[in-house]
Amino acid sequence: MTDKAFSELAEISYWLHKIKEAPNHRRYKLLIVDDQPEIRNLLTLTLDSDDYEVHHANDWTTALEITKTVKPDLILLDIMMPGEHDGLEVCRRIKNDKDLSSTIIIIVSARSQAADQAEGFKAGADDYLAKPFSPLSLIDKVGTFLTKTVHTTK
């Protein structure tokens, strides 16, 4: 393991412990939205932790239904999905719903051009992660956003 990788792993471990030590620590609800089961499984395995209750959706309608019923803390959302609407429209609908607008949305997409990322942020995404992604980067982003949530909900 390189020094840089070890340093990144140590920082991620630090954030995960900070989440666990928070006075209002709870099990966070995550929603993974991707039409490819392999990607959903990879994301789930990457975030394998007792701290997360992970839900899955493979299309836009299921994503919106689960978001309304489960009210996840964070959504990992693909842009390209089958059906009438894509992930950007899902993002817009969630961010425009007063009961769901505080949901953290990280787009995880193969569309990695600057224009694609700009569209994601314009739709209301909190962050954007291009596929293929570094598992450490994903863990870091999720941990950082959830840690911020802990501190702002006190």
Residue 69 falls within a domain, yes or no?
yes
Q: Is the pLDDT of residue 19 over 70?
A: no
Residue 94 falls within a domain, yes or no?
yes
Q: Which CATH number fits the domain that encloses residue 146?
A: 3.40.50.2300
Q: What digits encode the pLDDT tens for the residues 90-147?
A: 999 999 999 999 999 999 999 989 999 999 999 999 999 999 888 889 999 998 998 8
State residue 5's pLDDT score.
66
Residue 9 falls within a domain, yes or no?
no
Residue 42 falls within a domain, yes or no?
yes
Residue 6 falls within a domain, yes or no?
no
State residue 118's pLDDT score.
96
State residue 133's pLDDT score.
87
Residue 10 falls within a domain, yes or no?
no
Query: Which domain covers residue 95, as residue numbers?
Result: 26-152
For residues 71-87, give the mean pLDDT: 92
Q: Is the pLDDT of residue 77 over 60?
A: yes
Instruction: Count up the domains in the chain and report the number.
Output: 1
State residue 151's pLDDT score.
46
Residue 7 falls within a domain, yes or no?
no
Residue 17 falls within a domain, yes or no?
no
State residue 121's pLDDT score.
97
Q: 3-state SS of the chain?
A: CCHHHHHHHHHHHHHHHHHHHCCCCCCEEEEEECCCHHHHHHHHHHCCCCCEEEEEECCHHHHHHHHHHHCCCEEEECCCCCCCCCHHHHHHHHHCCCCCCCCEEEEEECCCCHHHHHHHHHCCCCEEEECCCCHHHHHHHHHHHHHHHHHHCC
